[in-house]
Structure 1
Amino acid sequence: MLLFDNLYGRLRQHPLRGAAAVGQPAVVASQGRPVVAVDEKQSDDLPPSVDFVSIDHRKSIRVAVDHLAGLGHQCISYIADGQSTTYSRRSKSEGFLEAAAANGLTQCHIVMPPEPSERPQFSGKELAELGRRAVATIMESYPETTAIVTFNDMTALGAVEALKDLQVSVLDRMSVVGIDGISVSELLTPSITSVRQPLEISAKEAVKCVAEQLGGRRIRKDIYVQPELIVRRSSGRRQ
């Protein structure tokens, strides 16, 4: 069993019995092998033989918005990226709108700054730059914003640095919440409130699904791993 992004070449080289795949699960399924799609799918209609394991991305964004709404924030901006065709990022954007509506928030905005490159995956520096660009847009177009949610923690880092440059106090004037739970979030000043996404649990569930299929299970499974809010110093009650 292998976990990898590009399956075509590997299928020719390895006698796989099953795979947990990010990106092209149908390729392995078409070879008659057990397969699990991990955190990504092109549509809601996966082949019946393909299990699906993912972080609950809608829940991740809902946890962040609920946290901020509970602190009294009415005007929240969500920094998304332009890769809205991916399942995880599309789910976060949709989840943000759902969470805003559920909390009765009518002054919420999705901000998608110009992307630093055409690659589907960005470096940490590029993700931080997205946050910096988005803050400039928010302060110019949505100055009533009192809280920001970002699609990952590196973007939150860039947002915090941009707010510092603009002399906008993080916590007193603007709260910031990231999504990922990477360790660097707790080392910053201020430390960043984040919604932790336990990828290690996703990996274990994916391996378990492959083993179950190899053992004869034929009923398809969808598993959504639950996120966890970690409150730090970048989010507080609306002033």
Structure 2
Amino acid sequence: MSFDRSIKIAPSILASDFANFGAEIEAVEAQGADWIHVDVMDGHFVPNITFGPETCKAIRPHIKGVMDVHLMIAPVDPYIEAFAASGADIITAHAEAGPHIHRTLQAIRGAGAKAGLALNPGTPVEAVDYLLDMVDLICVMTVNPGFGGQKFIQSQIAKVEALRAKVGDRPIHIEIDGGVTPVTAPLVAAAGADVLVAGSAVFGGGSVADPAPYGENIRAIRDAATAAQS
């Protein structure tokens, strides 16, 4: 994975047709998706249950680009090896999910994946201060984690701006997860984000049989964000 700050669209398969994961991934990549975002939830750290490492392993052959695995689970450490072995390019853990996030980030890199750090809406940006040299990506949650389709939390824009200042010239992606649309994408792109996770805003209106809307949705988000970024 080479690093650049161009806008990357990462559709969340949480919003896709669960009976057609492979075909949905291939369709959305063909329509312009840069990364594939996999939301892993345990019903404990967040109030929902989704996928495990076996699902990631099953969909990996269908993904040509980056598999971006977001672990909304606690504890995290016992599962890092399994998700790395499933083919995850990036594994993101939450700062709030355990007492030793530094160790968790070390373990992710040790397993051969890029290390991501996620911050919940109520977590201050200062949580990253002693971790910046441990991470390849910081994910700012712009909704409370656990469910798709929630409303974007405006206060997180200031967090993105502060985070971008802290990152400086380091090769760290700033990812936004939650409520991304062509309306909110330029707000976070202007603040310094470069990876935009979108679920219903990408998959809405399309299907494997009619994937063209996926491309239209991706282009609308990317165009709005890129214009704001420049």
- Judge same fold: TM > 0.5, yes or no: no
**TM-score normalized by the length of structure 2:** 0.35
For the pair shown, the structure with the greater C-alpha radius of gyration is 1
**TM-score normalized by the length of structure 1:** 0.34
